[in-house]
Structure 1
Amino acid sequence: MSESKKTPAGIDPRGPRFGAAITSALLLTTVFLALDGATLDTAFVLLLVATGLFAIGAIFGNSKHPFGLIFKKFVRPRLAAPKELEDPRPPKFAQLVGLLVAGLGVALHLAGVPNAIAIFAGMSFVAAFLNAAFAFCLGCQIYVGLQRIGLIRKF
């Protein structure tokens, strides 16, 4: 197996943080709207959008994610080169975690569970905010933990 197959090309770690900042704003708005019955339908649509964005990130990775593309085209050219690149697999896994959490909120709302949108958008918001504000990627930490116990193979 060639070296490029074993270790994917690194990504600028500021890209996922940029996306997490936008995602945080989207999810906080979703939570806020979900708390009022008059705007619950709008909150549901926003959670669907967030779920779709998580799906793109989980399937294609940060480099093909809309926020990653915005970062690459408009933000990164204005910044100095990153000090080091990051393995793209943990952020991609984090997108999968976001997809599962947001998707569960969508499914439970459709099943009639009260406050499902607010609860699951809130949980997703906390994870996105931790990444955006403190560079602490909760999904990435889960990925590393799963590697440590052998559920995800190390390269």
Structure 2
Amino acid sequence: MSHPESVEPDVATAAAPSGAPAGIDPRAPRFSAAITAVLLLTVVVLSVAGLEVTAWALLTALSAIFLWGAVAGVKRHPFGVLYRTFVRPRLAPPTELEDPRPPTFAQLVGFIVTIVGVVLGLFGVEYAVAIAAGFAFIAAFLNAVFDYCLGCQIYLLLVRARLLQRA
């Protein structure tokens, strides 16, 4: 599993390590990444097809969703709510929980990448929307398909380099 800091639950209400927020179902970020990947690929296709305004609008919406996840946390992310409401009740309980901080940081990384495309697209920089969406798509695809979270790995590197502190 590529999401760091997983904790094994003894019961459904497993305690998080001291100081760490309560763990999350590690399948939720993958579910969110799958939806995000499809939407980002749609942005790329729309942009390449010459529908730049539509692609820009969709990337703007996705950027706002990334910001929501970065600020409110992955537990309150709209796609996480969809997962908890419609998917999670149909699955067996997770075998482990994970620290929500790395996926929340990954949302910030996604926001930064997509907002660059949004701003550059607003100023008419050719292919900025498609390129930003393409980079974000690669990260979302890796998470959704291979359970490899690039933003989570960046989070770990920053923590190890002592550029980020855990709460």
Q: Does residue 75 of structure 1 match 2:83?
A: no
Q: Aligned to 2:121, which of 84, 92, 109? A: 109
Q: Aligned to 2:57, which of 45, 49, 57? A: 45
Q: Aligned to 2:107, which of 89, 95, 100? A: 95
CA distance in 2, matches of 1:4, 1:131: 24
The TM-score normalised by the length of structure 1 is 0.94
> Partner of 1:18 in structure 2?
31
4+ long deviations beyond 2 Å: none
Q: Does residue 147 of structure 1 match 2:152?
A: no
Q: Aligned to 1:123, which of 121, 135, 150? A: 135
Q: Evaluate the alpha carbon distance shift between residue 53 and residue 5 of structure 1 in structure 2; reply closer, same or farther with a 3 A threshold.
A: farther
CA distance in 2, matches of 1:143, 1:6: 17
> Partner of 1:30 in structure 2?
43
Identical-residue share of aligned pairs (%): 56
CA distance in 2, matches of 1:147, 1:119: 28
CA distance in 2, matches of 1:72, 1:146: 30
Identify, as 1 or 2, the structure richer in helix: 1
Q: Does residue 58 of structure 1 match 2:70?
A: yes
CA distance in 2, matches of 1:55, 1:71: 18
Cα RMSD over matched residues? 1.4
Task: Give the gaps of 5 or more residues in structure 1.
Answer: none
Q: Alignment length, in residue pairs?
A: 152
What residue identity is the alignment partner of 1:86?
E
Deviation at 1:112, TM superposition (A): 1.8
> Partner of 1:8 in structure 2?
21
Secondary structure in 2 matching 1:7:
coil
CA displacement, residues 91-117 of structure 1 (integer Å, 9 cap, x when unaligned): 000000000000000011112211000
Task: Give the gaps of 5 or more residues in structure 2.
Answer: 1-15
What residue identity is the alignment partner of 1:30?
V
